[in-house]
Amino acid sequence: MNERTHFDFGWIIVGISFIILALTYGVWYSFSVFFVALLKEFGWSRSVGAGAFSLFIVIQSFAGPFAGAMVDRFGPRVVIVSGSLILGIGLALSSTIHAWWHFYLFFGVITAIGLGTTGWIANTTIVHHWFQEKRGLAVGIISSGIGVGILVCTPAAQVLINRVGWRATYQAMAFIIPLINISMAVLFLKRPPHGPVKRLSLPGIQGRRVIDKEWGSRSWTVKEAMGTKPFWLLTFSFLVSGISTQSILTHHVAFFVDKGLEPLRASYIVGMVGIVSMGSKILWAMMSDRKGREITYAAGVACAVCGLLSLIAFHFLALPVFSYSYALFFGMGYAVAAVLPAMITADFFAGGSYGGIFGTIMVLNGLGGAFGAWFAGFVHDHLHSYLVVFLIMIVFFLAGGYAIWIAAPRKVVGPMAGDVVEK
């Protein structure tokens, strides 16, 4: 296979990962509408209902490092096919639940293993292996697939729930999503023709300048990465971003319904978050290549804070303008927290063990998301309000952004040549 064909097929891989992530994370982000339906039918407290989702996030986060390592070792096809089968089984079983522990087992464990195997870590590792040039753009594109999942699957799930019920909706997802994922994996997914891209070559990465050449020329292992300060700063940042994003994305439909919106209209607001995040992920990815990771992450944090301030305003004055500003700003803030971690981690720890390193870091992101989903429900059960949650999450977003500045990826890899680089 010549270089041109290799390059072109890499973009086909991007398209496949885009679709897989859209479908897979449609399961994740449609939980917010299933959450309302399940609370209505079973009368669970919000902390009990959200607890299943917290378990789901924990399990999928631990599956991530294994998925990344398996892609490194066995290739993408085996990973995506096996994960999709498990995902379908979990969703089918979730349609049969009659008690809270059924939901914890079928959705919180089995479905989570399937999603963790076919999800973000596996697909970013696949793209990492195919791309050296324009990796930031490629990661941004596949990440926007998650936005498509939010946009399409959440309102679609709500429509189906209204018409045929939540059980039949889970059954439909259990059939359609694995069928499409497996078909595409069998037909298109394969290893790069020259093997995984190893440590990115000096003097530049994706046209960007390597500042610390000793660090930048090293091929890291998981154990070596864990002995560095940047590894733990990134881990902390992604931990608190997981708490912040998932506490909001799990409960925003319930919040809007509490404030008088119909569930279907609330699902449309969620869809707007997805629309905004789609374009924003590509925008942030390209901006971070040119202007630097820290500046871009800080801009995204500012957007997330504006989104939370919009929710606080809606809490006191339920005007449509505040719901729309929430969708705009939080969609942009969520996007930066979703797309940049993979790119920042690659700046520090690119190489043949990237999948394992990134997956290990993102375990804490998953644990943070699990805690955030449960914590928001716990606070609401006791205070009957999400206001305190919104205030706390503003602090967490700011702390995560500050940790990225301290980690300073700009000191390892600077922006594209021509931009100012801090030595």
pTM of the predicted model over 0.75: no
pLDDT at position 310? 97
- Could you report the per-residue pLDDT of 113-122, keeping only the tens digit for each? 999 999 888 8
Q: What is the pLDDT, as a whole number, of residue 210?
A: 62
Lowest mean pLDDT: which of 34-38, 134-138, 190-194, 416-420?
Answer: 416-420
Average pLDDT, the chain: 85
pLDDT at 21: 93
Mention the CATH class of domain 3-416: mainly alpha
Q: In Å, how far are 45, 123, 156, 273 from 258, measured between CA atoms?
A: 14, 36, 21, 19
pLDDT band for position 202 (50/70/90)? very low
Query: If you write DSSP's letter for every residue of 123-156 in order, what string do you get?
Result: HHHHHHHH-STTHHHHHHHHHHHHHHIIIIIHHH
- Lowest model confidence (mean pLDDT) among 4-13, 28-37, 164-173, 397-406: 4-13
Report how far residue 155's alpha carbon sits from residue 158's, in angstroms, rounded to the nearest whole number.
5
The reported pLDDT for the residue numbered 419 is 43
* Nearest one of 328, 296, 287 to 310, comparing CA atoms: 328
Residue 182: the pLDDT is 94
Closest CA to 170 of 114, 90, 250: 90
Confidence of residue 2 (pLDDT cuts 50, 70, 90): very low
Instruction: Output the CA angle 294-300-303, nearest 5 degrees.
Output: 145
Residue 220 binned pLDDT confidence (cut-offs 50, 70, 90): confident
* Contact yes or no for 370/62 (Cβ under 8 A): no
Q: 368 or 195, which is more confident?
A: 368
Rg over alpha carbons for the chain, rounded to the nearest Å, is 20
- pLDDT band for 192, please (50, 70, 90 cuts): low
Helix (H, G, I), strand (E, B) or coil at 260: coil
Average pLDDT over residues 376-403: 94
Residue 198 reports pLDDT greater than 70: no
Helix (H/G/I), strand (E/B), else coil: 3: helix
Q: What is the mean pLDDT of residues 131-142?
A: 74
Q: What pLDDT is stored for residue 132 in this prediction? A: 66
pLDDT at 55 over 50: yes
* Strand arrangement of the beta sheet that strand 413-416 belongs to: 204-205, 208-210, 413-416
Note the pLDDT tens digit of each residue in 269-303: 888 888 898 888 888 888 888 888 899 999 999 99
